[in-house]
Copies of this chain bind each other. A is one copy, B any other.
Amino acid sequence: MIDGLLPDLEVVRKDFPILTRTTPAGLPLVYLDSANTSQKPQVVIDAMVDHLERHNANVARAMHLLGAEATEAFEGGRDRVASFLGAPSREEVVFTKNASEALNLLANTFAWAGEHQLGPGDVVVTTEMEHHSNIVPWQLVTERTGAELRWFGLTDDGQLDLTNIDELLTEHTKVVTLTWVSNMLGTINPVAEITRRAHEVGAVVVLDASQAAPQLPIDLAAMPEAERPDALVFTGHKTVGPTGIGVLWGSRALLESLPPFLGGGEMIETVTMERSTYAGIPHKFEAGTPPIVEAVGLGAALEYLDGIGMEAIQRHEQAITGYALEGLATVPGLKVLGPTDAHARGGAVSFEIDGVHPHDVAQVLDSRGVAVRAGHHCAKPAHARFGVQSSSRMSSYLYTTPADIDALVEALNYTRSYFTLG
């Protein structure tokens, strides 16, 4: 028995109906693509069904029975997110459609008139290991405002290269945005340290917690203020919740100082044809009918994760990742990209196999029921940094077993023998 695994792993697996699926060839499903999207436990599906079958209505605007029930369920989702993040206030939790929209919301509101408006001479700092969703929005906003985009490079072992931090973080630096956990390299970044340094020069700090939220306990209120980011985003579908919902947490000070992003129903205080005023946070940033059934699903998802315990999930991920790193090391010609110490990384492990293209790896694995991702994982710059165009990636989650890893390793050996090297 591997140390740190969830004690009730078989019970946990029973919560996820999809894990009983088989391939057309009758093989069991080995799902190792959770960093891409996670599977959903029955309670999440049931919560959504119950909402749609019994409580569906629009929220806030409706005063009738169903409207009150739907509003309570929707705002209950917000409460759950707030407690999941340890948010200082529930009003700091804004629902978006995914993590990408949350990052774009920030980038866009930095473009328009206001305290934080970017302009020529201003610098936005990101890193070379970001997901495209934390690069492209900042390319667009810096291009459109005349500000400059700069970035932390990477060391050969897949860490942020902080040697030029004093050049990057200066009084011109208005925003520092980085991922907590890399979706390609698995690296866990020293976000407290970087946040502190960024705050010293007066920059706003944005954390992309899309990969961190599923794996690490987060407690914003417990962070020393200097090390607490000003904004943090994650996405519902990676935390066993549904698609169609993401979260932007922002400090009250930041959110109140930003201009509105999308305009429309729900985000207004009053509207005349000539001029409108806006609602307070979080509604100011939630134009239109929000993702209601999705908030219900996300609430149930985070309740499920909290029920198991984020510490326990983190230990499980580390244990499985350690076991996977050992297994992968036995495959000849396989090279892992990123840190190889399971305790210093997240559960996404990207690798190359000499002479077999990642597509072909994924294809052969899939024929054995093993689902991994192949490609650039929306992190082209990080791939380019390591001189590769694409890679294969396995990623585990709370339902992953050592047997899943064994199946992966066996299938990788089969791939080698089948494909080029057989």
State which residues 105-164 of A face B: CB under 8 Å. 107-108, 112-113, 128, 131-137, 139-140, 144, 149, 151
Cα–Cα, bound, A15→B139 (Å): 48
A268 partner residues in chain B, CB cutoff 8 A: 132, 136, 380
State which residues 358-389 of A face B: CB under 8 Å. 359, 362-363, 365-366, 369-375, 377-378, 380-381, 384
Closest Cβ of chain B: how far from A196's Cβ, in Å? 25
Cα–Cα, bound, A289→B236 (Å): 10
Interface string of A340-373 (1 = CB under 8 A from B): 0000000000000000000100110110011111
Closest Cβ of chain B: how far from A338's Cβ, in Å? 18
Cα–Cα, bound, A55→B369 (Å): 14
In the complex, which residue of chain B has the Cβ closest to the Cβ of A384? B272
Decide: B271 and A381 in contact? CB cutoff 8 A.
Answer: yes
Partner of A100, one of B100, B132, B288: B288
Decide: A61 and B373 in contact? CB cutoff 8 A.
Answer: yes
Tallying the copies of this chain within the complex gives 2
Cα–Cα, bound, A21→B51 (Å): 12
Given A52-B40, A56-B18, A57-B371, are A135 and B276 also a contact pair (CB < 8 Å)? yes
A257 partner residues in chain B, CB cutoff 8 A: none
A260 partner residues in chain B, CB cutoff 8 A: 136, 140
Partner of A112, one of B56, B144, B149: B144
A165: interface (CB < 8 Å): no
A222 partner residues in chain B, CB cutoff 8 A: none
Which of A23, A96, A262 has its CB near the most chain B CB atoms (within 10 A)?
Answer: A262
A287: interface (CB < 8 Å): yes
Cα–Cα, bound, A378→B37 (Å): 35
Which of A98, A128, A263, A276 has its CB near the most chain B CB atoms (within 10 A)?
Answer: A263
In the complex, which residue of chain B has the Cβ closest to the Cβ of A150? B273
A217: interface (CB < 8 Å): no
How many of chain A's residues touch chain B, expressed as a range?
Answer: 35 or more
State which residues 88-106 of A face B: CB under 8 Å. 96-101, 103-104
A202: interface (CB < 8 Å): no
Partner of A37, one of B31, B57, B100, B113: B57
A85: interface (CB < 8 Å): no
Partner of A244, one of B137, B139, B293, B381: B293
A17 partner residues in chain B, CB cutoff 8 A: 53-54
Decide: B65 and A23 in contact? CB cutoff 8 A.
Answer: yes
A254 partner residues in chain B, CB cutoff 8 A: none
A173: interface (CB < 8 Å): no
In the complex, which residue of chain B has the Cβ closest to the Cβ of A42? B53
A380 partner residues in chain B, CB cutoff 8 A: 268, 270-272
Can you name 14 extra interface pairs (CB under 8 A) apart from A40-B56, A100-B263, A107-B263?
A18-B54, A18-B66, A33-B62, A36-B58, A64-B365, A97-B101, A100-B262, A136-B287, A137-B262, A140-B260, A242-B293, A243-B289, A268-B380, A271-B380
Q: List 22 A-B contacts (CB under 8 A).
A: A18-B53, A18-B55, A18-B56, A29-B65, A36-B58, A36-B61, A37-B56, A58-B237, A61-B378, A63-B375, A97-B101, A100-B262, A104-B263, A107-B263, A108-B108, A132-B264, A132-B265, A136-B268, A140-B263, A243-B289, A243-B292, A244-B293
